[in-house]
Amino acid sequence: MTAPQYVAALDQGTTSTRCMLFDREGRMVSLAQREHHQHYPRAGWVEHDPMEIWDIVCQVVPEALADAGASPSQVVGLGITNQRETTVVWDRHTGRPVHNAIVWQDTRSSSVLPAVAAEMTEADIQARCGLPLVTYFSGPKVRWLLDSSPSLRERAERGDLLFGTMDTWLVWNLTGGVAGGAHVTDVTNASRTMLMDLGTLDWGPELLAAMRVPRAMLPEIRPTVSSFGTTVSPVEGISLTAVIGDQQASLFGQAGFDRGDAKCTFGTGGFLLLNTGPTPVRSQHGLITTVAHAMEGESAAYALEGSIAVAGSLVQWFRDSLGLIRSAAEIETQALTVPDNGGCYVVPAFTGLYAPHWEPDARGVIVGLTSYVTKAHLCRAVLEATAWQTREVIDAMNADAAAPLERLAVDGGMTADNLLMQMIADFLDIPVVRPMVAETVSRGAAYAAGLGAGYWPDREVLRRHWRRAAEWRPTMSANVRDDEYQRWRRAVELAIGWGA
């Protein structure tokens, strides 16, 4: 009997790293997962230790293989998916990072934005890369790092330092590191750096000049599904056949291959992506333009994205910083004990507001407090904050897109919360559907890697794996919805500018 074959996904996320193996029917056969530390050296700064993350990768990949009883030769391909924008700079000779990774949520680069804007107008930047000039993306983070030390800039210009998002850092280490690791990224990750020109899908010289990023430190950009090398560590001989940013991966994992397909992932943040097909669509309503995926030999598919910085992380803050709940799931049990928010609204603008506002100076507010308000009302307002933020990005998406979304496909850790899913259906006034497998990020990376390895013949086969697990239909009256939305908007107005 021949040994079974699998495809693997390595998902390096904001809070944890997971490795999963999938079989030909798209079933997950093993999972290994570890969390890494979050470092908050100052208010607004968020860092990860790239060496800790690499160590975790060295644990979870062999563990996932062992869990499935599989040898590396039984894995036809590995797909890497990752938290996007998070910036790593390391020395190509020693393999050591020169600084902790600067995480996508980190706002320290606000200090360099005026200098960038002086070299290139915001409108020009957005026209070239599809992104607003804010701290979220990698380019300003690299500029902050190199501006912070003349010696780092000198080493970067000499070609001694390498830049990468998490995918690049991991592929370089997986393929040998200082002993000849591949310095590569894929087009979805590159589209988040603010350094890639959306027209050419290559590094844009004008953007590099504005961000003062030397070309010598940048990886080669490849299609999402293509050859990224072969692993030499922590296990030998697995082909890296796909790399894809995690939010694009969940669109792919929900079989969102074609124009008009959309999904929203609710994890640390919330990310709504609409596949707009082979032509980039420029938003007039505060969404960003990004690459959805690119298959070797085909033109790229683009997406409109509505990014919400704080979704599940508000629940974590309630649990870990305020200690008001013991587990994330308790937010729902508490919220279910009251019929409404008691007049209270939470706008979690911890790192400013992302789409559709892009207000870096916004800060979190809780409004409507009276002595009537209890912990349960606050818990309800926490969940409503995610649902209203989703309504704002859906409104922007519907205003930009040819046709309004008729239903919303969802995934991510927060979709375990039935009350939240019902709120989203109510606030958006469309059905919300959740697929059977909520692990759509890893699934998307596995799909891409499996297509690259010829494990699956085409995307049609994968589309058949999608199964609906649950659906929530709107039940709220239009009057209540409209009144509540007005109150939410007033709360948002109070948040905007608070941190200026």
Ligand X SMILES: Nc1ncnc2c1ncn2[C@@H]1O[C@H](COP(=O)(O)OP(=O)(O)O)[C@@H](O)[C@H]1O
Ligand Y SMILES: O=P(O)(O)OC[C@H](O)CO
Binding-site residues from annotation: 14-16, 18, 84-85, 136, 246-247, 268, 312, 316, 413
Interacting positions 263-282 with ligand Y (CB under 6 A): 267-269
Q: Which of 8, 14, 130, 259 binds ligand Y (CB under 6 A)?
A: 14
Q: Which of 47, 106, 197, 246 binds ligand Y (CB under 6 A)?
A: 246
Name the minimum Å distance from CB 159 to ligand Y.
Answer: 28
Nearer to ligand X by C-beta: 419 or 449?
419
Interacting positions 37-96 with ligand Y (CB under 6 A): 83-85
Question: Residue 247 touches which of ligand Y, ligand X, none (CB < 5 to 8 A by kind)?
Answer: ligand Y
Name the minimum Å distance from CB 13 to ligand X.
Answer: 4
Measured distance CA(435)–CA(128) in Å, rounded: 35
Q: In 3D, which of 61, 66, 77 has the Cα closest to residue 24?
A: 77
Nearer to ligand Y by C-beta: 102 or 161?
102
Q: Which of 6, 13, 355, 447 binds ligand Y (CB under 6 A)?
A: 13
Q: Which of 7, 8, 12, 14 binds ligand X (CB under 6 A)?
A: 14
Question: Residue 359 touches which of ligand Y, ligand X, none (CB < 5 to 8 A by kind)?
Answer: none
As annotated, the binding site for ATP includes: 14-16, 268, 312, 316, 413
Q: Which of 107, 276, 307, 313 binds ligand X (CB under 6 A)?
A: 313
Interacting positions 215-234 with ligand Y (CB under 6 A): none
Residues in contact with ligand Y, counted by CB under 6 A, come to a total of: 11
Nearer to ligand Y by C-beta: 269 or 450?
269
Mark the segment that binds ligand X (CB under 6 A) among 9-17, 161-169, 336-344, 425-433: 9-17
411 lies in the binding site for ligand Y (CB under 6 A):
no
Question: Residue 104 touches which of ligand X, ligand Y, none (CB < 5 to 8 A by kind)?
Answer: ligand Y
As annotated, the binding site for ADP includes: 14, 18, 268, 312, 413
Measured distance CA(242)–CA(252) in Å, rounded: 12
312 lies in the binding site for ligand X (CB under 6 A):
yes
Mark the segment that binds ligand X (CB under 6 A) among 100-108, 301-309, 323-331, 491-499: 323-331
Residues in contact with ligand X, counted by CB under 6 A, come to a total of: 19
Interacting positions 256-275 with ligand X (CB under 6 A): 267-268
Measured distance CA(189)–CA(361) in Å, rounded: 26
Name the minimum Å distance from CB 442 to ligand Y.
Answer: 11
Q: Site residues (CB under 6 A) for ligand X?
A: 13-16, 267-268, 312-313, 315-316, 328-329, 331-332, 412-414, 416-417
Q: Site residues (CB under 6 A) for ligand Y?
A: 13-14, 83-85, 104, 246-247, 267-269
